[in-house]
Structure formats: C-alpha cells, structure tokens
Amino acid sequence: MNWDLLGHEWAVDLLRQHVSGERLRHAYLFTGPRGIGRRTLALRFAQALNCPAPTVPGEPCRTCRNCQQIERMQHADLTVVQAEQEGGTLKVDQIRELQRSLSLAPYEARYRVAILLRFEEAHPSAANALLKTLEEPAPQVILIVTAESAESLLPTVVSRCEVLRLRPLSLDVAAEGLQTRWGLPPEDARLLAHISGGRPGYALQLKESPDRLDQRKTWLDDLQSLLPASRVERFAYAESLAKEKDTLRQALLVWLTYWRDVMLYAGGISASGAPAPLVNLDRAEEITALADRLDLPAAHRTVAAIERTLDQLDKNVNTRLAVEVLMLDMPRIPLH
C-alpha cells in the first residue's frame, strides 16, 4: 500500500499516519526536482483526505467518485494553482482568487484542498499574499505547496508548512519499477531510469510521450553538429532555437545533462572510486570520446555557461543574444 507510487514510501507512511490519526497540519510543502512525483503525491494525499470509503484508514480506494475526480483534478473541493506555463509566473490575482474559494465551506468533501504547484515561480507579491492564508487557515482547509527546494521560497512560507523533501530513487529501483509495474523492456527501463535521474514522474512522462525522446535525440544530435561548426553556423542555429523560449529552455536542460556527463568523465572517477553513472546512457561512446579530448576545466566552463544562460532566461534578457553568447562559450572541437 504505497498509494500506487513508485518510491517515497516514507512520505506516504507519514501522510497516511497524519490522515488516519487525525494529526493533520494545515499546510504541507513537498520539495524535490521536477518529475520526482510531487504533484502525484499531492493528489494521492488529497484522495486520502477526501475518500469516503478508504480501504483502511489513510488509504484511498481510488475508485470512488471523489477519488476519480481528484485524480483528474476536477473535484469541486480541489483547487490547483500554478503558473500558466513552466518558467512562467504565478500571479497575485491567482492567490486572491484562491483565497476567495477557500473562504467557502467544502461543497461535498470533508476538506477543501488547494495544491499550489511550482511555487518557486510565484511572484513575490503572490508569495506574500499566501502568507495570510498560512497564518490564519480556515477550518477544513489543507494547503499543499510544491517547489524544487525550500530555499527557493520565502522563509516565512516554509516555516508555516510541514516540509517533505523528496529524493530521486536509485537508478536500479527506478529501472525495476518501470519493468515490473509498467512493463517496459529491461533496456528501455534502464535508459529511462538514467535519463530521468531516478525521477519516476519524469520517466513515466518519457514513456508515455515517445515524441519527447525523439526531441531529446534531435537536440543531442544538434549539439554534436555544433561542436565542429563555425561561428556563422552556430549563430544561425542560435537564431532558430531562440524563437521559442520554452523550447530553448528544454533544449538547454538536455544539453546540461550531456555536458555534466562529459564533465564527470573528464574528471576521471567519482568519490566512490568508480565512474559516476551517465544520465545519457545511450550516448556513452560519444561522451567518453569527448571527455578524452577535453580537460576538466573546459567541460566545467561549458556546464557553467549553460547554467548561466538558463539563469538569464529567467531574468528576461534578450534570448537570442544569450544563446549567441553561449555559442561563443562552447568549445569548438573538430570531428577529426
């Protein structure tokens, strides 16, 4: 009985005890990298809170009308608040609208539940507005906030929440779960476990959306083509990539995993004395070959350049200029 989640048993046990023992907090904060399962855990918790016929205390049936509607995020007593798109901004008006809905008594369930996703994207005025609700919670209201880290939020928000820090699964556990629970062939399960870095939610997104894997392959192929390319060719690519900011962000995140793999192998062995596991397992040959041609400082500079570009995108700098600077910072490596 793990709420049909892969991993995070300790978090499920804790939340189940809060529900069954009626020791609920008025606000919870689930942290961890994207794709770790924060939203799924929040929805399962909402089901446990409002299932009218739990199989055992704290264990939602997941088949009743309440559970099904919560699963689809369509329940009258469930409100999900988030920025319009990843990397966007959660606005103060959204928090004020949430506060109006939370002032009402539950319509048909035991609790009104609000799930605030990716709260690190909240505008400072939105985060401050939420404080009033956190300080003066209405009866029968449970708030669930998700974020990449507690450090990305206002300390005053964090201090008013029960914090559950979710961690990636081991690659072996993630791969085994993908095989036994979702029927993936061993090789595919192992690859998705590595690409996702042990994040079960992200691994399942990749499983259910083969086009994401195709897009990842395209971006990595493009990166290989750019290594020996001239400045003119790189700038032409930068112009096309910079047209869609969200697409650019996703491409840079894929490149970042690749260059971190190169950096690890350029640095030799890990602290445990063995090579660190590759994220891009299917690119092992080219990564090791590239690591042989670069020293560790060069690989580190490239990782830092990509991280700097991602940070600049969050600060709304000129997108094309940011990518062009990245193209200048990336090492030029002839194929032969």
Whether residue 274 is predicted with pLDDT greater than 80 in this model: the reply is no
Q: Are residues 103 and 188 in the same domain?
A: no
Query: Are 157 and 13 found together in one domain?
Result: yes
Which residues have C-beta within 8 Å of that of residue 147, sequence separation ≥ 6? 29, 30, 31, 118, 119, 120, 153
Q: How many domains, in total, are found in the chain?
A: 3
Residues 67 and 101 in one domain: yes
What pTM was computed for the model? 0.83
Cα–Cα distance for residue pair 177/192, rounded to 1 Å: 11
Coil, strand, or helix at residue 54?
A: coil
185 SS3 class = coil
Q: Is residue 336 included in any domain, yes or no?
A: no
- Quote the DSSP letter at residue 59: B
Is the confidence at residue 272, as pLDDT, over 50? no
Expressed as residue numbers, the domain containing 190 is 174-208
- Residue 167, pLDDT score: 94
Is residue 99 in a domain?
Answer: yes
- Nearest in space to 90 (alpha carbons), one of 31, 147, 164, 156: 147
pLDDT given for residue 165 in this prediction: 97
1 belongs to a structural domain: no
Query: How confident is the model over 276-292, as a mean pLDDT?
Result: 90
**Which token pair is 310?**
């991602």
Handedness of CA 239, 244, 245, 250 (dihedral sign): negative
